């Protein structure tokens, strides 16, 4: 039953009632996370984290959302109890399989287009949390000398309790939009261990960085609401779009991608504020004198880093940062055989997993394949840039990489926004597939025109 006030409020801001309900619950994660600081006892904090997350999910998506979360959560936990040796790989495919089933059933992209919303987005975050915690428990069996630094840091030597596990997965509604963080960090934060242990430096205040995140969120939403009427996605199907020349169509693709990103900047700024104010966002002290607290554990985007990226290789480091980190630790690194260097296969496989995680729309798959091509093409430019000793040529190649990244990113992200195969191919075709052809040409040239070996190894090291 909907309150009449919600209908009025939803109409006033131009969204549907389900979306308004989600936004209100999403905003509520900030006070909910703040009050976590005052819950007494370790068990009490785990219980508060789990219950508050479940209640926010119920209020936002309905009772069925928590049932959907329970299925992969319980299957993942059961795999840790029953079959620790293979629990990581089992849970990876089981959790992703369930998520794919929900994607197919709900087809969330269509729901969003029609003003609806469901719990699939939150299930996406929970899926990553489940898989990481199970794999880290799996890693607890391995010899330390065979582990990478991230594995040593995050591995779990003993089985978390069911309450700890539920608290981690649902913590204060952080599953709504992330960010993804590690079970080990959650446990240390809850138990006030590690960097959260009281020290002579005192307890860092979260209020200033929280305010900064909220002001950033307000700016991002204001700019998005201003731009979106001028650059709607529906324009791609408008006959007037086809009447434009090549450069105007390419410019519109840039502006539509630029506009859409501010919506994500807003969402991630709110989630960052929520994690920071809880204290979990704290990531240690700087080495400066006096030391200053760092709050980048919750940082999911570097806005200027995205908009002014000098290379496509930088984008995973500044966009959806925590998910990119998860993909690197739990997919990319684990596909690299000992003694061998990663190549295009690892990159493509990682981008494919990311595409499937987002949903089964052709636009997602095409976008992430495009991303793999875009990064590989950018690497070729970077290797040439590092190999040349001529300052002018180096600057020209640096500028080319910047322009290339700007062009191919905004061309590629149209698929991510329109989702359907027909609309994606039509938008790409309207600019003669320029954002697909250029990366492929660069990849081919990169294999033909190879820089000298010392420069190449240096470039790879820096990449």
Separation between Cα atoms, residue 98 and residue 87, nearest integer Å: 16
Rounded to whole angstroms, what are the CA distances from 98 to 76, 183, 219, 363, 364? 11, 21, 37, 21, 18
Separation between Cα atoms, residue 280 and residue 363, nearest integer Å: 35
Contact (Cβ atoms closer than 8 angstroms) between residue 349 and residue 343? no
SS3 state of residue 359: coil
Determine whether 200 is exposed, middle or buried from the number of CB atoms within 10 Å of its CB (0-12, 13-18, 19+): exposed
Q: Strand pairing partners for 301?
A: 319
Contact (Cβ atoms closer than 8 angstroms) between residue 128 and residue 99? no
DSSP characters over 41-84: SHHHHHHHHHHHHHHHHHHHH-HHHHHHHHHHHHHHHHHHHH-G
Contact (Cβ atoms closer than 8 angstroms) between residue 353 and residue 366? no
Q: Cβ neighbours of residue 32 under 8 Å, at least 6 residues apart?
A: 52, 56, 172, 173, 274
Q: Is 42 left (phi over 0), alpha (psi -120 to 50) or beta?
A: alpha
Angle between helices 207-227 and 246-278 (to 10 degrees): 150
Look up residue 451 and give its DSSP letter.
P
Q: Is 192 left (phi over 0), alpha (psi -120 to 50) or beta?
A: left
Q: Give the helix ranges, DSSP H, for 171-287.
A: 183-191, 207-227, 239-243, 246-278
SS3 state of residue 285: strand
Residue 358 bears catalytic tag: yes
Contact (Cβ atoms closer than 8 angstroms) between residue 250 and residue 10? no
Q: Cβ neighbours of residue 30 under 8 Å, at least 6 residues apart?
A: 210, 214, 270, 273, 274, 277
Q: Cβ neighbours of residue 141 under 8 Å, at least 6 residues apart?
A: 84, 85
| Catalytic residue annotation | 358
């Amino acid at each position: 039953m909907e309150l009449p006030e919600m209908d009025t409020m939803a109409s006033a801001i131009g969204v549907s009632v389900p979306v308004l309900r989600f936004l209100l619950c999403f905003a509520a994660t900030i006070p909910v996370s703040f009050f976590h600081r005052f819950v007494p006892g370790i068990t009490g904090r785990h219980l508060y984290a789990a219950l508050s997350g479940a209640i926010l999910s119920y209020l936002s998506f309905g009772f069925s959302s928590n049932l959907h979360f329970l299925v992969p959560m319980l299957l993942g936990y059961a795999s840790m109890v029953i079959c620790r040796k293979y629990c990581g790989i089992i849970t990876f495919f089981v959790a992703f399989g369930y998520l794919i089933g929900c994607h197919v059933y709900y087809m969330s992209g269509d729901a969003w287009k029609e003003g609806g919303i469901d719990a699939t987005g939150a299930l996406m975050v929970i899926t990553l949390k489940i898989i990481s915690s199970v794999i880290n428990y799996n890693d607890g069996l391995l010899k330390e000398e065979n582990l990478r630094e991230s594995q040593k840091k995050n591995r779990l030597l003993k089985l978390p309790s069911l309450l700890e596990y539920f608290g981690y997965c649902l913590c204060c509604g952080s599953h709504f939009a992330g960010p993804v963080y590690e079970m080990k960090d959650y446990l240390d934060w809850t138990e006030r261990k590690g960097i959260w242990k009281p020290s002579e430096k005192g307890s860092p205040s979260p209020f200033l960085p929280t305010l900064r995140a909220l002001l950033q969120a307000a700016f991002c939403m204001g700019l998005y609401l201003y731009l979106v009427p001028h650059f709607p996605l529906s324009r791609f199907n408008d006959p007037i779009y086809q009447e434009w020349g090549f450069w105007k169509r390419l410019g519109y693709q840039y502006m539509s991608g630029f506009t859409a990103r501010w919506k994500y900047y807003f969402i991630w700024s709110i989630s960052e504020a929520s994690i920071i104010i809880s204290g979990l966002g704290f990531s240690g002290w700087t080495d400066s004198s006096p030391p200053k607290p760092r709050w980048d554990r919750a940082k999911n985007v570097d806005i200027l880093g995205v908009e002014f990226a000098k290379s496509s290789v930088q984008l995973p480091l500044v966009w959806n940062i925590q998910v990119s980190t998860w993909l690197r630790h739990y997919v990319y690194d684990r596909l690299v055989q000992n003694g061998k260097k990663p190549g295009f296969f690892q990159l493509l496989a990682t981008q494919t997993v990311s595409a499937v995680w987002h949903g089964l729309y052709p636009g997602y798959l095409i976008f992430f394949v495009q991303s793999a091509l875009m990064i590989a093409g950018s690497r070729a430019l970077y290797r040439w840039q590092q190999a040349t000793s001529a300052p002018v040529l180096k600057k020209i190649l640096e500028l080319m990489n910047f322009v290339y990244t700007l062009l191919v990113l905004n061309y590629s992200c149209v698929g991510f926004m329109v989702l359907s195969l027909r609309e994606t191919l039509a938008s790409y075709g309207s600019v003669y597939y320029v954002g697909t052809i250029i990366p492929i040409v660069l990849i081919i040239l990169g294999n033909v025109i190879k820089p000298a070996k010392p420069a190449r190894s240096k470039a790879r090291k820096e990449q």
